[in-house]
């Protein structure tokens, strides 16, 4: 008998269900006697013993289903070693649930914070295998994460739809795309959606250069401009501030999102009408696209193979077209941002796309 626990942690995205399906179908097909438990609402369920036994039928018909059938929650890593309001030791509580269920392995699907906790549990002696989930594509150790391409498709569609109304009215449109710390989504969607300006967290922008790019288009007889901006994009001026100075300038909960601040500045400098569109959580929702279903199924099957081989303490990640096991201790705490010498950025600049630098 093999007993496996599934956890989906952090922000939801497309293909969580598809990935669990890949793991489950591989295990059911290769182990005569296996039980799979869904740990409900992420690490919260592991802490408080909230789970349910899943049956093979639960994994039927979920390949195209967005979200997660076992729920999720955000449990900040920095609070994992802090007792809850009742004094409960969260780490010991998670270990107790694992032992109570007599689990042979935890399969954990999540992003950067999730992998920090997964690595912590692995070091505490639990058998752990993880799959890289995030629309941000910012997990170290894998070329691609599931959920990313589906979110890019949605952001690209938003840019496509904005093009027609921008052209009709002759306006500047700013589309704010998810991505606090990295800009992979904005970069891919911006290029695919024909944005004229792309602003990323990794490349602080000079407002003068953004304005110059928009004015240049106007002089060339182009009636509109599309700006794709990551929600974590930052000006060169603000990037030079200390964390304390930045927080003082933009108090949490009081400051406007970057797209609205940028829009007001562009209007002031150009006199052009500016409209802002924020697709928001629609980028996380809906059905996974064909590519995400494909890679999720592969990642799930690869995670199951590690369990069959009793090879724990790894994340399954893509290196080229191959799936490779990556030690959790190498993944945890690392962020895969857009490098300074990124070829994609160089190609986009060669086409005339402005990055504000």
d(CA 120, CA 80): 10
For residue 319, give the 3-state DSSP assignment. strand
Give the single-character DSSP code of 101.
T
Residue 115 near residue 130 (C-beta atoms within 8 A): yes
d(CA 139, CA 291): 18
H-helix or E-strand spanning residue 199 = strand 197-199
H-helix or E-strand spanning residue 38 = strand 34-39
Q: What is the mean pLDDT of residues 297-313?
A: 98
Residue 46 near residue 94 (C-beta atoms within 8 A): yes
Q: What is the mean pLDDT of residues 246-261?
A: 80
Q: What is the mean pLDDT of residues 222-250?
A: 88
- 138 catalytic? Reply is no
Residue 151 confidence class, pLDDT cut points 50, 70, 90: very high
Please pick, among 58, 96, 104, 136, the residue that the annotation labels catalytic.
136
Q: Considering only residues 314 and 85, tell me which one the structure prediction assigns the higher pLDDT.
A: 314
d(CA 137, CA 150): 11
222's tokens: 């182009």
Question: Which tens digit of pLDDT belongs to each residue from 13-58?
Answer: 999 999 999 999 999 999 989 999 999 999 999 999 999 999 999 9
Residue 98 near residue 5 (C-beta atoms within 8 A): yes
Tell me the pTM.
Answer: 0.94
Structural domains in the chain? 2-147+288-331 (3.40.50.450), 151-284 (3.40.50.460)
């Amino acid at each position: 008998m093999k007993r496996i626990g599934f956890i989906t942690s952090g922000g939801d995205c497309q293909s969580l269900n598809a990935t669990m399906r890949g793991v489950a179908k591989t295990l059911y097909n290769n182990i005569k006697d296996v039980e799979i438990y869904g740990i409900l609402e992420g690490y919260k369920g592991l802490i408080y013993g909230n789970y349910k036994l899943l049956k093979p039928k639960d994994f039927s018909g979920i390949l195209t289903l967005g979200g997660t059938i076992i729920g999720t929650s955000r449990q900040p890593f920095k609070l994992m070693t802090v007792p809850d309001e009742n004094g409960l030791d969260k780490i010991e509580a998670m270990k107790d649930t694992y032992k109570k269920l007599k689990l042979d392995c935890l399969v954990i699907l999540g992003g950067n914070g999730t992998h920090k906790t997964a690595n912590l549990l692995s070091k505490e002696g639990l058998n752990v295998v993880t799959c890289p989930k995030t629309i941000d594509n910012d997990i170290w150790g894998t070329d691609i994460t599931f959920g990313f391409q589906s979110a890019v498709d949605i952001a690209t569609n938003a840019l496509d739809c904005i093009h027609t109304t921008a052209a009709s009215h002759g306006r500047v449109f700013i589309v704010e795309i998810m991505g606090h710390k990295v800009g992979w989504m904005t970069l891919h969607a911006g290029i695919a959606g024909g944005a004229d300006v792309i602003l990323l967290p990794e490349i602080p922008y000079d407002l003068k250069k953004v304005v110059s790019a928009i004015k240049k288009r106007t002089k060339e007889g182009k009636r509109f401009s599309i700006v794709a901006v990551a929600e974590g994009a930052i000006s060169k001026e603000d990037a030079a501030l200390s964390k304390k100075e930045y927080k003082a300038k933009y108090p949490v909960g009081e400051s406007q999102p970057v797209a609205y601040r940028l829009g007001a500045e562009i209007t002031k400098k150009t006199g052009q009408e500016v409209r802002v569109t924020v697709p928001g959580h629609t980028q996380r929702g809906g059905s996974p696209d064909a590519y995400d279903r494909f890679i999720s199924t592969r990642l799930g099957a690869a995670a199951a193979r590690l369990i069959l081989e009793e090879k724990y303490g790894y994340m399954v990640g893509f290196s080229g077209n191959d799936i490779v096991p990556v030690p959790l201790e190498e993944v945890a705490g690392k962020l895969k941002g857009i490098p300074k010498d990124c070829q994609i950025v160089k190609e986009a600049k060669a086409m005339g796309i402005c990055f504000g630098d």
